[in-house]
Amino acid sequence: MFKIHLCGTLTGHRRGFEYKSNGPVGYYQFLHFHTPFFYTVNGVRGEGAPGQCMLHRPESVITHGNTVDSEGFVNDWIQFSASDTDILPLSLSFDIPITVPEGEQFGRLISDIIKETALGDAFSDELISQGIYRILTAFKRGESLNIATDQAPHSRLLSTRMQIMNRCGEPWTLKKMAELSGYSVSRFSALYSEYFRKSPIDDLLNERLETAKRLLLLQSYRIGEVAEICGFSSIHYFSSFFKARTGVTPNSFAKHNLQYSIEDKHKKAGITHE
């Protein structure tokens, strides 16, 4: 059975408002947005449009707020608890914006839940649980419609990722990556993080680091040339980033591996060093 914690409809907030959880939310949280919004989920930022919805897991760390300084922030929302046997069969998408047709239904459904919470008679718990289930099934239906018109998002993302990784030295921005995929920046960021379990920028930086390691091992390029080939804006930034990720400077990495390579070759040839 689904159980209500807190909820509200057409909740208005002041300009510049941000809802921020200092840790895991602790409850499932469903939101229907009436205004443009930004969000961060476990450190990954994105933006959404009026009419979109989001569903968060209890363990998610989230922030929401308005993106337009001249506007307030308005949403319908509900926090609830549920057992795995209630929630898992629905196969819901978490932590990404979903466009749901006829989104005004969520305000009505939450209003009904508020009335039942106030009434609190022998039938209320069951009717509240049914109301939450109706919200989730409407959300799932909207998700299904998104997927039907999305043309194999996983395939598109894999193709986009391959092109980015193969050209990791280019001056990529999040906007440029999203344009290559055909998605909006917020949609691209959310889907990328969902499928690959890392943000697009983190993934790109990891690829640049691995490419730099391979080039350093070749002993054919200066440190500055490696930085330029891999897309780092300066040799100073490259050296700082490399040391932060590996614990050693690029120069130390190259020298250590060169020495290891020479000793290994000598060992195989039967040459010993006294």
Per-residue pLDDT of the chain (274 residues; tens, 9 = 90+): 999 999 999 998 888 888 898 888 899 999 999 988 888 888 878 888 888 999 999 998 999 988 876 577 899 999 999 998 999 888 888 888 888 878 889 999 999 999 999 999 999 999 999 999 999 999 988 877 665 455 456 667 887 888 898 889 999 999 999 888 888 888 889 888 888 888 999 999 999 999 999 899 888 899 999 999 999 999 999 999 999 999 999 999 988 776 544 444 445 444 444 4
- Same structural domain, 24 and 64: yes
Domain for residue 11, yes or no? yes
Whether 272 is covered by a domain: the verdict is: no
Helix (H) or strand (E) holding 30: strand 28-33
Domain boundary among 115, 148, 181: 148
Same structural domain, 76 and 182? no
Judge if 171 and 234 occupy the same domain.
yes
Please state, in angstroms and as integers, the Cα–Cα distance from residue 63 to each residue in 29, 75, 136, following that order: 12, 14, 21
pLDDT digits (tens, 9 = 90+) for 98-135: 888 788 899 999 999 999 999 999 999 999 999 999 99
Q: Look up residue 28 and give its amino acid.
A: Y
pLDDT at 200: 94
Closest by CA position to 58, among listed 89, 98, 87: 87
The residue type at 106: F
Q: 88: domain CATH number?
A: 2.60.120.280
Can you give the C-alpha Rg of the chain in angstroms? 25
Q: Any idea what the CATH number is for the domain that residue 194 is in?
A: 1.10.10.60
- Residue 269: what pLDDT? 45
Give Cβ neighbours of residue 195 (< 8 Å, ≥ 6 apart): 153, 154, 157
Is 55 within a domain? yes
Q: Are residues 139 and 85 in the same domain?
A: yes
pTM of the model: 0.57
In a shared domain, residues 103 and 230 = no
- The reported pLDDT for the residue numbered 138 is 93
First to last CA, the chain: 75
Q: Coil, strand, or helix at residue 65? A: strand
The pLDDT > 90 percentage for the chain reads 50
Is 142 among the domain residues?
A: yes
Residue 274 within any structural domain of the chain: no
Domain end, chosen from 125, 148, 171, is at 148
**Is there a domain that residue 271 lies in?**
no
Contact 2, 80 (CB under 8 A): yes
Instruction: Work out how many domains the chain is built from and give that number.
Output: 2
- Domain residues for the domain of 59 are 3-148
Are 162 and 108 within one domain? Answer: no
Task: For residues 122 and 30, state if they share a domain.
Answer: yes
Length of the chain counted residue by residue: 274
Residue for token digits 């926090």?
79
For residue 177, being part of any structural domain is answered with yes
Distance CA 185, CA 179 (A): 8
| pLDDT attached to residue 258 | 61
Continuous H helices in the chain: 84-87, 104-119, 124-148, 153-166, 174-181, 185-196, 200-218, 223-229, 235-246, 250-269
Residues 157 and 143 placed together within one structural domain of the fold: no
Residue 63 resides in a domain:
yes
Of the three residues 122, 148, 174, the one that is the final residue of a domain is 148
Judge if 192 and 84 occupy the same domain. no
Residues 165 and 93 in one domain: no
User: Read out DSSP for 152-199?
Assistant: -HHHHHHHHHHHHHHTTTS---HHHHHHHHTS-HHHHHHHHHHHHSS-
Is residue 14 domain-shared with residue 129, that is, in the same domain? yes
Residue type, 118: A
Are residues 56 and 132 located together in one domain of the fold? yes
